[in-house]
Chains A and B, each alone.
Chain A
Amino acid sequence: EAGVAQSPRYKIIEKRQSVAFWCNPISGHATLYWYQQILGQGPKLLIQFQNNGVVDDSQLPKDRFSAERLKGVDSTLKIQPAKLEDSAVYLCASSLVWGSTDTQYFGPGTRLTVL
């Protein structure tokens, strides 16, 4: 079974530029998550999708971050414009169903450096 795929793996941009990350979840997984992991911290949930609908985006900085999950499969997370404090690893995860006991499977992440 293929895992969660993310691209790119690394990205370096200058502040005020835009960047987009792509995630392809495990086939058949209805729930998709985007996490931000700042160096030295645990992952923090940015947004959660159930199929193509948003379940939770309470911690997403909506003035600069946006995410979509068209057709309930792949997802894209965008930052526009980027700030220095956005430097982090962005992790995508998916789970089969929506529920607090269901295992979340994580992708390898995209490491973003904002200069």
Chain B
Amino acid sequence: AQSVTQLGSHVSVSEGALVLLRCNYSSSVPPYLFWYVQYPNQGLQLLLKYTSAATLVKGINGFEAEFKKSETSFHLTKPSAHMSDAAEYFCAVSDRGFGNEKLTFGTGTRLTIIP
């Protein structure tokens, strides 16, 4: 069964510092991988997705993620944190096979930005 593990339920960074949120996946077939962001009292919004094209994926709000098959990782980064980045971030995986392609989410990482 496919799964993702997010390392660190809480991450704090200073404004202007590098943001690094970690995600490792487990999948029996080459996966599709996603990062979603959730602001308080709102639904989830897609940041970016990996679907087997370029391994370095650029998303919205200056975020990017790199698919590393050898490390089974899909870490999310942003060079310079902004106060508006404070939110909860979820990594998700979906199998590629035709049929039941549901998203399996990690437990989330709450990002706090320190002024």
Partner-B contacts on A (CB < 8 A): 4, 33, 40-45, 48, 55-56, 91, 93, 98-101, 103-109
User: Chain B's interface: helix, strand, loop or mixed, by majority?
Assistant: loop
Please tell me if the beta carbons of A56 and B44 are within 8 angstroms of each other in the complex. no
| B90 proximal to A (CB < 8 A) | yes
Evaluate contact between B43 and A109: CB separation under 8 angstroms.
yes
The one of A41, A99, A101, A106 in contact with B43, judged by C-beta atoms closer than 8 angstroms, is A106
Q: What number of B residues sit within 8 Å (CB to CB) of A?
A: 25
Q: What total of A-B pairs shows CB separation below 8 Å?
A: 56
Q: Please state if A103 and B103 are interface contacts (CB–CB under 8 Å).
A: no
Q: Mark B74-108, 1 if CB is under 8 A from A, else 0.
A: 00000000000000001010111000111111111
* Among A33, A41, A55, A56, contact of B107 (Cβ-Cβ < 8 Å): A41
Q: How far is the CA of A33 from the CA of B44 in the complex (A)?
A: 13
Residues of B within 8 A of A44 (CB): 105
Give the shortest distance, in Å, between B60 (CB) and chain A (any CB).
Answer: 12
Q: Does B45 contact A (CB under 8 A)?
A: yes
